[in-house]
Amino acid sequence: MDGEMSQVSIPTIHALLGIRVDAPLTFPDLIASLTVSFFPTKPLNGRLGRFWPKLQSGLRKHGVKILDFEDALAQGQNGKVNKGVVLIAAPDFIEGDPPTHFVSSLSANIIVGVYDKPSPLTQHTDQQARLDLVIGQMVWDIVQVLIYVEDDTWTVCNMNGAMVPSPNCDVLTDSILEILISKLAAPVIPPRMADFQVRPQSFNPADVTLAASVSDLVECGPIWEQTGLFFYQTPLAKLKFRNDFMRRLGTKFVDHRSGMSFGFLVRQVPQIVRPALTLAEARQQLGDFDWIGQELHVISGQEYLAVNIGAETLIVEAPDVWVLCTRSGCIKTRLDPRRDVIRLGLSKGRYILETPAELEPGSDCKPSYDTGVILAHALANVVIASVLARFNPESEFLKALQTTGLALAHWHGYLAEHERPSGCAVFGRDNIPFACATPQSTILAFQGKLSAFESQFCNTRDYHGDIHVEPHHGTNMTGNSLTGIARWLLGTKQAAPLL
């Protein structure tokens, strides 16, 4: 049984994870999907006067389609540019109506603000202060991407907290590709309640079957607080909007969330795992389907996924998966499970959101921006466990998922190479820097986790958890408990093993 698990195809991943939009994954495809227009400004001088044409030239050299603003309006309807057109503006140099008046919605169009001022990295050493500055600028001008221009540096910031500097040299071509293209062509779009089957007040966090997972979510908080990784929280009520119109627009864009916080804590609930079947077993038990030509089948209401290991095709059950997760906007290190913990499910490409039984009507209880990534990890965990159940039923990874469940933590930071635990798979470091709340980040989480598994499994016939690096975004870590991961990060002698 030599060889590696083949990549699951992108159309199959779309079907498994409920992705119903185009999601270009390569730079050529991202560029082909991108149309940019530079919003009219007063005459630019100084640093902006020099930067503006360099940015235009760099985008053109990569083949990005650039429309004059009047042409962009002419191609649109009702005085708005077409859906998908990115507007790049210098807000401090705009006369008349702002760019928000020329887009149909902030979900349909990205607005980029370019500023002649020091970046948050230059102005502050405190990460919370940096983030507050970025979010404050975004809501004041209602832009989703910021570019700060200084003499020797230009810095790109976006809604998932990325702050990426690059040299402000004569030619911006390379840095435009590395840090800007994906943020324009694959924007952050917060998940909407309309995207979910919502079941309000439908689960009890105090239920005995959830008690261990809820306790881990709550009790790990003080330890995570000591790590200093979960202190970012931005209440919308404290932000200054230019006017009531801007407030309504910004509030609608974030789906009426009361605020934004960064990172997540997740417990995947214990899962029944059925061992992967050989082709012969699948044909005997499930039916003589085209398992080779078609990767995904729904049989008697249950999904089955074909994966390859070397020359052998295995059939894996892809069941519903469920996680307990922190709600969007809460303080991760001080959870009240009666209002801060939600249950998310994935069932045959459909997202389900359940809120706590005691939640007061009208409370803000929205899903994480990273919902797609969370559920992609959860489903990939089951696929991995199914293969392990076939070939290594004593695997600790498998036993953990079956008995206590698994833990997934995300924070906005990275581990140095020497800090990563031995035996833990690492993936994602060389990916295009897609932001959270993009279908691309969901696809790469699922695809990358299975690739990390195949590499480790072929060498050890086992799996010991993983570190998923998201460039310009942060780190996802899978282990057996959130408390154990936090203790390990603190470097205490009492640190629990990851798996």
Q: Is 10 a domain residue?
A: no
What are 317-326's pLDDT values in tens digits? 999 999 999 9
CATH at residue 113 = 3.40.50
What residues pair up with 77 in beta bridges, in sequence order? 80
Which residues contact residue 119 at a Cβ distance below 8 angstroms, ignoring those fewer than 6 apart?
148, 150, 153, 155, 157, 163, 165
Cα distance between residue 420 and residue 426, in whole Å: 9
**Same domain, yes or no, for 33 and 170?**
yes
Q: Is 287 a domain residue?
A: yes
Q: Is 2 a domain residue?
A: no
Q: Is 478 a domain residue?
A: yes
Q: Is 19 a domain residue?
A: no
Q: Give pLDDT, residue 497.
A: 41
**Same domain, yes or no, for 43 and 61?**
yes
**Same domain, yes or no, for 252 and 164?**
no
Q: Could you tell me how far CA 499 lies from the centroid of its own chain?
A: 24
Q: Give pLDDT, residue 450.
A: 93
- What range defines the domain where residue 449 resides? 191-490
**Same domain, yes or no, for 316 and 291?**
yes
Q: How many domains does the chain have?
A: 2
* Domain final residue, candidates 133, 157, 185: 185
Q: Is 45 a domain residue?
A: yes
- Pair 119, 153: CB distance under 8 Å: yes
**Same domain, yes or no, for 204 and 172?**
no
Task: Give me the count of residues in the chain.
Answer: 499
Q: Give pLDDT, residue 247.
A: 78
Quote the tokens at residue 134: 């970025």
* Domain final residue, candidates 185, 220, 245: 185
Quote the tokens at residue 327: 């709600």
Q: Give pLDDT, residue 5.
A: 45
Q: Is 22 a domain residue?
A: no
- Name residue 287's amino acid: G
Residue 86, phi then psi, degrees to nearest 5: -90, 125
SS3 at position 480: coil
Q: How far is CA 63 from CA 89, 145, 164, 300, in A?
A: 20, 21, 23, 48
Q: Is 298 a domain residue?
A: yes
**Same domain, yes or no, for 261 and 350?**
yes
Which residues contact residue 476 at a Cβ distance below 8 angstroms, ignoring those fewer than 6 apart?
373, 377, 408, 409, 410, 445, 467, 468, 470
**Same domain, yes or no, for 307 and 434?**
yes
- Name residue 258's amino acid: S
Q: Give pLDDT, residue 499.
A: 45
**Same domain, yes or no, for 319 and 422?**
yes
* Domain final residue, candidates 168, 185, 202: 185
Cα distance between residue 169 and residue 334, in whole Å: 45
CATH at residue 462 = 3.40.225
**Same domain, yes or no, for 247 and 373?**
yes
**Same domain, yes or no, for 252 and 306?**
yes
Stretches in the chain below the pLDDT threshold 50: 1-5, 492-499
Cα distance between residue 330 and residue 20, in whole Å: 29
**Same domain, yes or no, for 242 and 376?**
yes
**Same domain, yes or no, for 237 and 349?**
yes
